[in-house]
Structure 1
Amino acid sequence: MNYRKIIISQNLDERLLEKIQVLIPEWKIITGRDPAIWSDHIHDAEIIAGWKTEMKQLIMNGERKNLKWIQTWSAGVNALPLDTLEKGNVQITTANGVHAYPISETIFALILAFTRKIDTYVKQQQKKIWHHAQMQEEIHNKTIGIVGVGKIGKETAKIAKAFGMTVLGVRHSGKSEEFVDEMFTQDQLMKFLPKCDYVIVTLPLTSKTRHMFGKNEFNLMKPSAFFLNIGRGSIVIENELVQALENQQIAGAGLDVFETEPLPENSPLWEMDNVIITPHTSGNTEFYDQRLIEEIFIPNLKNYLLGNIPEINLLNYKKGY
């Protein structure tokens, strides 16, 4: 018997797996992280849910005769062979939106850590030092600038309003958004950056966003401003960020993503007192799989089974997101 196949390259909770099985009882479902489980099925799988680096070579070798749709487990698609998949008319949907709550929480954890000197006090506690560290700032009535007002940016703006902040946004279309007081386009950074006390980058990596932030942009920021990047490392020219921090052109940086990951041990960022580093974990949450399956994959699967293109978070190949 010839089964239609789906590969789920994750160790899914049985409850979530059952929700999928109910929809496709006659399909063969291959599930698990170990490549040994699914590598022999790439050539005739119709759907792949969860992208693994080991899949790239198999896909590039043409082992994808039935592949119609890939659901990624991340918001970014930079690791996928997009040119090959586009030529094969493979639809790609992403995990965009799953991260809105955990990443916005991380953003404010970093902002509050800087403003209320939490990182400094943790270091002092380890050395048993009792010192106020000139702590006096607060975030109420400050201006937060969100570069990339998608789902993460919207949630960040909503939280910022609870703190009484002025919210500025940057988005490609310049379209207004709830909780954002003023919206800018990418070519208006010169006007946008000097207004911000906190600059938050939530953008995907595309040809237009690569190295978007460098020496010129940091020169436009206030010396008292903090820079936070939870988008992609290559949006920033990292050595120029290091220089801006060393020269006190900006007050500090909260960084979850880097040009090279893991961040090399010889990176000067590790040793800087005005930098907080997190290891690309800002999107981690106990509800990750549940949200992805229930809010994105299953609705898309239902649509796909009706003969339609999965619409939620459908990748636009031309835009890169």
Structure 2
Amino acid sequence: MRTILCLPGFTEEQQAAVRLAAPELSIVFGQKDGTEDYYYQEAEVIFGWDAKVKEVALQEGTKLRWVQSWSSGIDSLPLELLEKRGILLTDASGVHARSVSETAVAMMMGLSRGIAAAVRNQQTRVWESPKSLAELNGGTVAIVGAGEIGREVARLARAFDMRVIAVRRSGRSMSEADIVYDVARLDDALREADYVVNILPLTNETEHLFHAERFAVMKSSAYFINVGRGATVRTADLLEALNKGVIAGAGLDVFEQEPLPADHPLWAMPNVILTPHNAGGMTVRNTERLAKLFVSNLAIYLSGETANLRNLVDYKKKY
């Protein structure tokens, strides 16, 4: 019998919605304490990802035909093997837009308003105000990688009366932005911005896109926020830019090496906010959106119109 394996995370109500969408299929909901290999071997569809998907479900002769990732970023998945096996892959683009954009804006405010420094001072009971404070209103934010998350960052930035520059591969207009630049004008956007929000996926073109020369064109008063992928930034160059005052500070949710080593210099920098790659974490709302995406895609998959799957990954582009 055709089998769908959903890894842990869905509520009973969400499980019922999946069953309703595929009443003629066997649907297995994985357990937090582990799911038997047999179900990975039998699965035609897998929602989610864990080590067993690669170890068991991607073997020769696999029955697997479609994986719905619960993450927007899929660079950590074995894309070449998935493509070789002829398996469809859809990501969760758009699902985490609200939570990631809220993290980005929280970092912007935490740095500009001195909140990050105040939290550090609170631990040692030091009454001290930063030498300078900034405001979001009237400032310019450059959103690099203006997809679904970028649109949401832009919407929030507009609420603070900010000027919004969107940097998009296509250069196509975006109603939420005041101006759109294509990637050839990235440096122009960096020169104008008081806040740079990086939301880029990791591809061959974006790896280490942010390096010393890029930080050098930014304002010395500007803040760099990374909620995209860690390897889009050359960490050593960012460290140097922060140490030398080339830029004012950074808010980082993603890193080239994760977990970030305990002895890494970034931990101790007073002008840096770090979060443990949880901007897109599975909040209640994110789980609801992801369940709706999967149920919607499941109906499309079962209809045979797989080319119409939402967020279908192009293995050549790696997103």
C-alpha distance in 1 between matches for 2:21 and 2:188: 51
C-alpha distance in 2 between matches for 1:299 and 1:173: 27
C-alpha distance in 2 between matches for 1:71 and 1:37: 18
Evaluate the alpha carbon distance shift between residue 38 and residue 28 of structure 1 in structure 2; reply closer, same or farther with a 3 A threshold. farther
Q: TM-score, normalised by structure 2?
A: 0.95
C-alpha distance in 2 between matches for 1:292 and 1:169: 26
1:97-246 aligned at under 5 Å gives the runs 97-246=94-243
C-alpha distance in 2 between matches for 1:113 and 1:197: 14
Aligned-partner residue type, residue 254 of structure 1: G
Higher relative contact order (CA 8 A, sep 6+): 2
Q: Deviations over 1:217-250 (max 9, x none)?
A: 1111111110000011000011111111111110
Task: Count the aligned residue pairs.
Answer: 317
Any idea what SS the aligned residue of 1:199 has? strand
Residue 45 of structure 1, aligned match among 43, 47, 71: 43
Cα drift, residue 45 of structure 1: 1.2
C-alpha distance in 2 between matches for 1:298 and 1:311: 11
Any idea what SS the aligned residue of 1:41 has? helix
Q: TM-score, normalised by structure 1?
A: 0.94
Question: Percent same amino acid at aligned positions?
Answer: 40
Aligned-partner residue type, residue 21 of structure 2: L
Aligned-partner residue type, residue 315 of structure 1: V
Evaluate the alpha carbon distance shift between residue 33 and residue 211 of structure 1 in structure 2; reply closer, same or farther with a 3 A threshold. farther
Partner of 2:254: 257
Partner of 1:267: 264
Which consecutive residues of structure 1, in runs of 5 or more, have no partner in the other structure? none
- Contact preservation (8 Å) 1:7, 1:38: no
Partner of 1:76: 73
- Contact preservation (8 Å) 1:44, 1:63: no
Partner of 1:61: 59
- Contact preservation (8 Å) 1:211, 1:237: yes
Aligned-partner residue type, residue 40 of structure 1: Y
Which consecutive residues of structure 2, in runs of 5 or more, have no partner in the other structure? none
Which stretch of structure 1 is more off in the superposition, 35-44 or 18-27?
Answer: 35-44
- Contact preservation (8 Å) 1:30, 1:38: no
Q: Deviations over 1:246-273 (max 9, x none)?
A: 1111000100000111000121000101
RMSD, aligned α-carbons = 1.5
Cα drift, residue 39 of structure 1: 2.2
Cα drift, residue 111 of structure 1: 0.6
- Contact preservation (8 Å) 2:40, 2:52: no
Cα drift, residue 28 of structure 1: 1.6
Q: Deviations over 1:93-133 (max 9, x none)?
A: 11111111111111111111111111111222222222332
Q: Deviations over 1:270-317 (max 9, x none)?
A: 0101111000011122212211011x1111111112121152111111
C-alpha distance in 1 between matches for 2:23 and 2:59: 30
Any idea what SS the aligned residue of 1:75 has? coil
C-alpha distance in 1 between matches for 2:134 and 2:74: 38
